[in-house]
Amino acid sequence: MFNMVGNIFKNLLKKPVTRNYPVSKRNFFKGSRGQIKGVDISLCIFCGICERKCPPTAIIVDKKEKSWEIDPFKCIICGECVDVCPKKCILMEEQYASPSIKKEKHKFKQEIKKAI
The residues that touch other proteins, with contacts defined as CB under 8 A, are: 1, 3-4, 6-8, 11, 17, 29, 31-33, 48, 51-53, 55, 57, 76-79, 83
Q: Which of 47, 44, 30 is nearest to 92 (CA)?
A: 30
Residue closer to other proteins (CB basis): 78 or 97? 78
Beta bridge mates, 67: 62, 109
Q: How far is the CB of 101 from other proteins (least distance, A)?
A: 26
Q: Which helix (H) or strand (E) holds 46?
A: none
Q: How far is the CB of 51 from other proteins (least distance, A)?
A: 7
Q: How far is the CB of 35 from other proteins (least distance, A)?
A: 12
Residue closer to other proteins (CB basis): 80 or 108? 80
Residue closer to other proteins (CB basis): 94 or 101? 94
Asked if 70 contacts 58 with a C-beta cutoff of 8 angstroms, the reply is yes
Q: How far is the CB of 36 from other proteins (least distance, A)?
A: 13
Cβ-based neighbours of 75, under 8 Å, separated by 6 or more:
35, 36, 56, 58
Asked if 109 contacts 65 with a C-beta cutoff of 8 angstroms, the reply is yes
